[in-house]
Structure 1
Amino acid sequence: MNSRRITVGDRAWTVRVDGPDTRHSVLLLPDAGDPVDVYDQVCARLHNSDLRTIVVESIDGLDAPAVHAILDELGVPYANVAARGAGAALAWQICSGTFGRFVSLIVADRGHPAAPGADGVVADPACRPMELPVTVLVTKNLPRSVADASGRFVYGEFRVVEVDVDDVAGAAGHELATEIVLRTSLW
C-alpha cells in the first residue's frame, strides 16, 4: 500500500491508499492499538471488487474535521466508511446527521452512541441519527441487543450481521469485506 502523511493543523496522520483509481472509495478506521496492517487482507479483497481503500493507520486524536480534511487532501468527495472498535465509535460520529459526504457505514464492535450499550449506559445522547445505509457486525464484543437498539437511530436501510469472533478484521476479514462490497454496490 502507498503511504501518505497528511497534516491537519498541528497533527499528522499516516494514511495508506491503494486499489484501483475509481470513484468508489472505502475509508477504513481501525480500533485503538490495532497494527497498521490490520485491514490488509480486507483491502486486498476490496481491490478485487474495484474499490479504492483509504486506511488511517491510527485514530489517536482523529476527529470529524480531520477526517474531512484527509479526504479533501486525497481528492475523495464521497466515501463509504468501515470501522471497528474505537474507530467504529468515531465512524458513527462522523457519519451522523444528514446524508452528505458519506455513502454508507459498516461498523463492528460498537452500537450507535445514542443507543444504550451492553451496560445500559448511553455514550453520547446528542449523536444524531444516520441518514444512510448502515450494517452493524455483531461480534463477541457487541451484543445483538445493542446492535438492534442502534436501528432506531438509522433512517436509511439497516442490517445486522452476526459474526462469532473477537477480531472481525483478522478472524473474519472475508465477512467484513463482503459486507463492505454489499454496501458499496448500487444494486
Structure 2
Amino acid sequence: MKSRRITVGDRAWTVRVGGPESRHSVLLLPDAGDPVDVYDQVCARLHNSDLRTIAVESTADLDPAGVHGILDELGVPWVNVAGRGSGAELAWQLCGGGFGRFISLVVADRGHPAAPAADGTVRDPSARPVELAVTVLVTKNLPRVVADTSGRYVYGEFRVVEIDVDNVATEADHELATEIVLRTSLW
C-alpha cells in the first residue's frame, strides 16, 4: 500500500491507500494506540474482493471535517466506513444523519454514541441516527446489549455479529473483511 501524507488546514494525517482502482472504496479507522499496519491483513482480503482501501494510520485529532478533507484530496466521492474503538466512535459521527458520502458502516467495540453503554452512561445523547446499512461487531470489549440497543439509532438494515476476540482487526481479520465485503455489495 502507498503511504500518503494529507494536510487539511493546519493538520496532517498519514493514510495508506491500496487495492485496485475501483469506484468501491473502504475507509478504515483504527483504535487509539493501534499500530499503523493494524488493518494490513484486512486490506489484503479486501483487495482480493476488488475493493480499494484507505487506512488512516491514526485517528488522533481527526474529526469529521478532517475525514471529508482526506477523501476530497484523494478524489473519493463515496466510501464505505469501518472502524474499531475510537475509530468506531468517529465512524458513528461521520455516518450520522442522512445518506450522502457514506454508503455503509461496520463498527467494532463501540455502540452508537446515543445508546447507553454497559454502565448506563450515554456518551452523546445528541448524536444523530444513522441512515445506512450498519453491522456492529460484538467483541470482548462490547456487550451484546449495547450493540442491540444501537439498533434504535439505525434507520437502515442492521446486523449484529458476535466475534469473541479483543482486537477484531488482528485476531479475526477474515471475519471483519467478510462483514465489510457484505456491506459493500449491493445484492
Q: TM-score, normalised by structure 2?
A: 1.00
Identity %: 80
Structure 1: stretches of 5+ with no match in the other structure: none
2:104 — aligned with what?
104
- Any gaps of 5 or more consecutive residues in structure 2? none
Question: Is residue 82 from structure 1 mapped to residue 82 from structure 2 by the alignment?
Answer: yes
1:152 is displaced (CA, Å) by 0.3
Please list, as runs of the form range in 1=range in 2, the aligned pairs for 1:63-82 lying within 5 A after superposition: 63-82=63-82
**TM-score, normalization: structure 1?**
1.00
1:1-80, aligned counterparts within 5 Å? 1-80=1-80
| Per-residue deviation, residues 116-172 of structure 1 (Å, max 9, x unmatched) | 001100000111000000000000000000000000000000000000000100100
SS at match of 1:37: coil
CA distance in 1, matches of 2:173, 2:96: 25
Instruction: Find runs of 4+ consecutive structure 1 residues off by over 6 angstroms.
Output: none
SS state of the match for residue 100, structure 1? Answer: coil
RMSD, aligned α-carbons: 0.3
Provide the rounded CA distance (Å) in 2 between the counterparts of 1:107 and 1:166: 14
The count of aligned residue pairs is: 187
Partners in 2 of 1:62 and 1:34 — Cα distance? 15
CA distance in structure 2 between the partners assigned to 1:181 and 1:14 by the alignment? 24
Cα distance in 1, alignment partners of residues 9 and 76 from structure 2: 19
How far apart, CA to CA, are the structure 2 residues paired with 1:48 and 1:142? 29
Q: List per-residue Cα deviations over 1:34-63 (Å, max 9, x = no partner).
A: 000000000000000000000000000000
